[in-house]
């Protein structure tokens, strides 16, 4: 039986963003500079393939600093950490490298600025996500109010509605955030915002690319981890843009190709923490079931690169970075 034809529309941009690329480079460079083991607090990025690849090179992933022995380097994940974490590392005299994405660090600094100016900060984000925990942990307990939905905005209780500011998790859906932000601004007209949009360029670009291909395909696969906020948002964006059969998969081995037997046009993208090798793996697997033609649909070009910490550039001595 001849294989049925399948046109794959590849969304671009997709996959690694500059912050993820930098975080992985920090771990790899630390391993090359200091040797194994290099400890990493939490998953460096939300992708098991990446984590397991780094483990094979000598990285050791732990949940908290009390699992890190003295005398070894430790890296903080790209999602950012509460201030208490580097403070504890310094108390113990640990050499640490902070792989927090610079765009997340920007949100941290803005929250601090608003707090110093006497404003209470409202953070739009998902409870329990490491980035949200890190951002809320920049300020004293109670200084940040978390909202996840428009209904949360209606329930907010604030003592001084004229002294509020908002910030957002960097990996949210643009549309979802817009609705919450509109509710905040309607209820608190004086609320202050960031000098520049908090949702990062990579999140926005990947969502726009998915919007471009979703109406043109019968099904769409997002390569990413189930705990990856930006990857889950891509599934939601695809469905909202017209592709009801959008789903999240981690590897090609998870795909039920029989359920896609009727598909003639398949969209593929990858979350910001998913490497391109996983996309290539899916395309190769598709070729076992279909006669595949691949077309790339590009909606933006990315050339942003974030520098490594000075300690890895040879310009800093011991201590933190």
Give helix then strand counts, H and E, for the chain: 10, 12
CA–CA dist 321, 319 (Å, integer):
7
Q: Which of 131, 157, 176, 276 is catalytic?
A: 131
Q: What are phi and psi of 181, to 5 degrees?
A: -65, -40
CA–CA dist 321, 310 (Å, integer):
7
Edge-to-edge strand list for the sheet holding 219-223:
246-249, 219-223, 265-270, 4-12, 290-298
Q: Identify whether the C-beta of residue 171 lies closer than 8 Å to the C-beta of residue 200.
A: yes
CA–CA dist 305, 300 (Å, integer):
16
Q: What angle do CA 215, 267, 275 make, to 5 degrees?
A: 140
* Partners of residue 278 on adjacent β-strands: none
Q: Identify whether the C-beta of residue 65 lies closer than 8 Å to the C-beta of residue 44.
A: no
- 280 noted as active-site residue: no
Residue with tokens 């907010």: 156
Which residues have a catalytic role annotated? 131
């Amino acid at each position: 039986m001849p294989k049925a034809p399948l046109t794959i529309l590849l969304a671009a941009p997709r996959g690694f963003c500059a912050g993820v690329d930098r975080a992985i480079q920090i771990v790899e460079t630390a391993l090359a500079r200091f040797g194994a083991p290099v400890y990493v607090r939490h998953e460096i990025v939300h992708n098991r393939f990446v984590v397991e690849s780094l483990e094979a090179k000598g990285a050791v992933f732990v949940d908290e600093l009390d699992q890190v022995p003295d005398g070894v380097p430790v890296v903080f994940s790209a999602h950012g950490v509460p201030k208490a974490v580097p403070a504890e590392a310094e108390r113990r005299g640990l050499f640490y490298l902070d792989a927090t994405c610079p765009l997340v660090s920007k949100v941290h600094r803005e929250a601090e600025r608003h707090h110093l100016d006497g404003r209470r900060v409202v953070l739009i984000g998902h409870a329990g996500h490491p980035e949200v925990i890190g951002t809320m942990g920049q300020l004293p307990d109670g200084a940040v109010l978390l909202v996840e939905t428009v209904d949360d905005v209606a329930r907010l209780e604030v003592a001084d509605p004229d002294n509020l500011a908002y910030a957002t998790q960097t990996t949210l859906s643009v549309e979802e955030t817009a609705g919450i932000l509109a509710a905040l601004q309607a209820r608190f007209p004086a609320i202050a915002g960031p000098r520049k949009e908090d949702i990062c360029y990579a999140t926005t670009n990947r969502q726009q690319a998915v919007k471009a291909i979703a109406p043109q395909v019968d099904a769409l696969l997002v390569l990413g981890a189930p705990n990856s906020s930006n990857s889950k948002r891509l599934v939601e964006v695809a469905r909202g843009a017209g592709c009801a059969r959008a789903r999240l998969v981690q590897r090609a081995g998870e795909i039920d190709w029989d359920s896609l037997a009727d598909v003639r046009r398949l969209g593929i993208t990858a979350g910001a923490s998913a490497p391109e090798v996983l996309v290539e793996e899916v395309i190769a697997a598709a070729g076992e079931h279909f006669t595949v033609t691949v077309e790339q649909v590009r909606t933006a070009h990315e050339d942003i690169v974030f520098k490594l910490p000075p300690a890895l550039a040879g310009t800093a001595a011991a201590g933190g970075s």
